[in-house]
Structure 1
Amino acid sequence: MYSFRTSGFNGYAVQYSPFFDSRLACAASANFGLVGNGRLYILGLSASGIVAEKWFDTQDGLFDCAWSENHENQIAVATGDGSVKLFDISLSDYPIQSWREHTREVFSVNWNLVDKTTFCTSSWDGLVKIWSPVRPTSLSTLRPHASQLSCTYSASYSPHNATMLASCSSDSFLRLWDPRTGEFPTSSVYAHNGAEVLSLDWNKYRPEVLATSSVDRTIKIWDLRFLGRAGGTTTGSPVNELIGHDYAVRKIAWSPHAPELLLSASYDMSARVWEDSSALKQPMQLSNMRQRGPNTGLRAVWDKHTEFVVGCDWSLWGAEGWVCTVGWDEMVWVWDVRSAKLQG
């Protein structure tokens, strides 16, 4: 395992570079993101540990970051002043592009893995916006219906479809979007029974499957094939539910190496590795699982953090199992899931 301290800045997000096996980025904020500056760290993994190769300071806190899938040196960040900034780590200390269309804090940024030329953001203003690095304004704005406007904590492109997005919000809804059909969601699922939904991620191997996490301490696995329609809302039950965190689950990430493994970060100061048993089932068996109830699936716990763990990511490189986590304790940890405490 390796560690790095973001002294004076509390971590919010961490991501491995899709181009270099020894590089990752960390978005952090002073004073837990309540007030003060932000800092984007570019970190390098070396034989002697993690070193800061470069950093960029911003006038407001940073809540998320996403490496470009099209340019090895570019990275987008989500800021607390409502702006979205694009940095080139080979250039000066200033962003090469800055957009300010959101009216509240930008809380997530996610790059399109399929067409690679666009990325999306979500904000506390309730909106999801789609951007191109070479355009001065957003390409489109996606919005819930006026009566449903609420804080949108996360939005993410499907890794299997260039135009499909999903978002999750404080009103407990998981929403699916296709900008080709207009600015409103194609379907909405009341996902966590009134609890705020903080994070989501698409499964990298199963196009119909995504996961959501919530302040209700659960992670739910959804299979889009089992969702139906009732009035204006999509109905359906999760095919699995992962239970074990003691507090809100702030971030989740599916493994790029195995369809059944998922990583989570929580306010209970732990990161956990789960095995989703629904990944191994056929459609008929999935229906039976929903009737039998949740399967915890907990495989390992990482407890080195001493404050809220709010960001996590899997390495695309090397041995299958290296991950990174970041928390409000000003620590970035890089560790092997096989070295964490085994459960069961």
Structure 2
Amino acid sequence: MVEGLMQGEVFCHSGHIGYINSLDIDSTDHQLLLCGGSDSAISIWDVDVDRSDIQTTPLCKLDMKIGHDYGLSKVQWWPFDQSMFFTGSFDFTVKVWDSSELDVVYSFDFENKVYNFDVNRHDENGLIAVGLSTPLIRLVDLRSVGSIQTLKGHHSGSVLSVKWSPTNSNVLASAGSDGTVRIWDIRQANQQLASLDLLRTNLKQSLTDPEFRKAHRAVSNGLAWNYSGSELLSLGLDNKARVWSELDDGGVNKSINFGPLFQDRRQQTMDPCVSLESHHDKPVVFLPSDTGDILKCSLEDGKLIQRLVPPGKEARHNRQASFIARGSEINQYFSSACDGSIIRWFYDD
């Protein structure tokens, strides 16, 4: 396990025009980096190259307006191999792609903008949770190629982040612009397990009426589970990152303070990245901040471990839009920025 300092280098200067909103690396070979941009383009890059080489040409690219009419909000590889990938867009669609032919296999059409989606890594039928510009969450799957369930609970606005539990295929977390974070069990008739309450800091019964429970005092726009699925991290436009435990018992705010450096002011998805178990002795979280920095913090006590500053003279104001781990065997990370650049992060030798 590595506990040293990290440094960043430019992987590519201009992968897209404007924001690269989402990144994902395939979970089989950990070699193919999938990118989706606000320019509606899709690109795939080979990350198994010399660290010193700045990339200029992706393996393949679908230019603007070919796959989607508007910007992409999320991209994700099929969790089981490299045969397919998924894209979500503000053009109201989630599309399934054949990665070898770069053809659309199927398009799920919604009546609202797609802010986020997550493919269930435990379900080979392709169960997908979709967060929309409404308070509803739609569940669709590849087997029936249609909507199989709707989760209702967020009061108003949009659902900005959805995340399946890494250990329970039936449990889903969602974060909304109404400031609520909700835990769902899709098997149950009353599907909502919990609406997290920032005022509940122990296992005593929450005194807040269920209708008024909030995880954040402003929009909640990011989620990440720890690798055991026992805790959930949420981000909000109140400039707070909160860690939640006891999720089977209504959820408890652990009151961990990540300090004043974290800033989150944009109403768009900003999922944090929790380190993989093989990368650190103790769990670490990476928090992309509106300052352009990425804050590497302890998930146990919120202590700042390192402030990651992207390379380049304009980096201070170049907000990082996405941050992901390459894979359990390779201790590298990638981030994308509002200028279309991609940064590779690694540990000093």
**TM-score (normalizing by structure 2):** 0.80
Amino acid of the structure 1 residue aligned with 2:61: W
Deviates more, 1:152-161 or 1:117-126: 117-126
Q: 8 Å contact 2:28–2:80 — kept in the other structure?
A: no
Counterpart in the other structure of 2:42: 40
- 2:226 is aligned to 203
**Amino acid of the structure 1 residue aligned with 2:261:** H
C-alpha contact 1:9 1:39 (8 A) present in aligned 2? no
Question: For the residues of structure 1 that align with 2:145 and 2:128, how far apart are their CA atoms?
Answer: 14
Separation of aligned partners in 2, 1:67 and 1:136: 18
Equivalent position SS for 2:147: coil
- Which of 280, 284, 307 is the aligned partner of 2:318? 307
1:131 shift after superposition: 2.2
2:295 aligns with 272
**Paired residues of 2:27 and 2:81 also in contact (CA < 8 A):** no
Query: 1:182 is matched with which residue: 168, 178, 189?
Result: 189
Deviations 1:240-271 (A, max 9, x none): 23224352073301111345111121222122
Q: Assess if the C-alpha contact under 8 Å between 1:276 and 1:297 holds in 2.
A: no
Structure 1 range deviating more: 296-305 or 129-138: 296-305
In the TM superposition, residue 317 of structure 1 has moved relative to its aligned partner by: 4.5
Specify whether residues 214 and 166 from structure 1 end up closer, same or farther in structure 2 by C-alpha distance, changes over 3 A only.
same
Matched, 1:98 2:77: no
What is the aligned partner in structure 1 of residue 202 from structure 2?
A: none
Q: How many residues align?
A: 304
1:185 and 1:55 map into 2 onto residues whose CA distance is 40
Do the aligned partners of residues 183 and 76 (structure 1) sit closer, same or farther apart at CA in structure 2, a change above 3 Å counting?
A: farther
Q: Distance in 2 between matches of 1:2 and 1:332?
A: 6
- Equivalent AA in structure 1 for residue 109 of structure 2: R
Matching residue of 1:251: 271
Cα distance change on mapping 1:261 and 1:186 into 2, 3 Å: same
1:225-264 counterparts in 2 under 5 A? 234=250, 236-248=252-264, 250-256=270-276, 257=278, 258=280, 260-264=283-287
Per chain length, whose mean CA-contact separation is higher, i.e. which structure has more relative contact order (CA < 8 Å, sep 6+)? Answer: 2
Contact kept in structure 2, 1:172 and 1:190, CA below 8 Å: no
Q: Report how far residue 175 of structure 1 moved.
A: 0.1
2:15 paired with 1:6: yes
Larger CA deviation: 268-277 vs 151-160: 268-277
**Contact 2:19–2:321 at 8 Å: present in 1 too?**
no
Deviation at 1:2, TM superposition (A): 4.1
Counterpart in 1 of 2:96?
A: 86
Identity %: 15
Distance in 1 between the 2:286 and 2:235 partners? Answer: 11
Call closer, same or farther: CA 1:113–1:239 in 2, change over 3 Å: farther
CA spacing shift, 1:7–1:179, aligned 2, 3 Å: closer
**Counterparts of 1:274 and 1:193, CA distance in 2:** 20
Could you say if the C-alpha distance between residues 223 and 130 of structure 1 is closer, same or farther in structure 2, counting changes exceeding 3 Å? same
Separation in structure 2 between the aligned mates of residue 139 and residue 59 of structure 1, nearest angstrom: 26
Question: Counterparts of 1:121-160 in structure 2 under 5 Å?
Answer: 121-144=130-153, 148-160=155-167
Query: Aligned-pair distance for 1:180?
Result: 1.1
Unaligned 5+ segments in structure 1 are 31-37, 229-233, 279-294, 340-344
- Could you tell me which residue of structure 2 aligns to residue 114 of structure 1? 122
SS in 1 for 2:187: helix
Q: CA deviation at 1:6?
A: 2.0
Structure-2 residue corresponding to 1:64 = 74
- Asked whether the 8 Å contact 2:217–2:238 carries over to 1, the reply is no
- Check whether the contact 1:219–1:243 (CA below 8 A) recurs between aligned residues: no
- Specify the SS of the correspondent of 2:261: coil
Distance 1:275 1:223 in 2: 16
Provide, for residues 279-317 of structure 1, a one-character-per-residue CA deviation record: whole Å limited to 9, x for no partner: xxxxxxxxxxxxxxxx43343323334422111101114
Tell me which amino acid in the other structure corresponds to 1:107. Answer: Y
Cα separation, partners in 2 of 1:319 and 1:71, compared to 1, 3 Å: closer
Provide the rounded CA distance (Å) in 2 between the counterparts of 1:100 and 1:156.
Answer: 20
Shift in alpha-carbon separation, 1:243–1:73, aligned structure 2, 3 A: farther
The code of the aligned residue for 2:273 comes to A
SS of match in other structure, 2:257: strand
Question: Is the CA contact (8 Å cut-off) linking 1:176 and 1:186 kept in structure 2?
Answer: yes
What letter matches 2:293 in structure 1? Answer: S
Going from structure 1 to structure 2, the CA distance change for 1:129 and 1:253 (only over 3 Å counts) comes to same
Return 5+ residue gaps in structure 2 as ranges. Answer: 1-8, 199-214
Residue identity opposite 2:318 in structure 1:
E
Tell me how far apart the structure 1 counterparts of residues 93 and 177 of structure 2 sit (CA, whole Å). Answer: 21
After superposition, the C-alpha distances for 1:149-188 in whole angstroms (9 at most, x for unaligned) are: 3211000000000110000111111100111113752210
My pick for the range that moved more, 155-164 or 40-49, is 40-49
SS at match of 2:192: coil
Q: CA RMSD in A?
A: 2.3
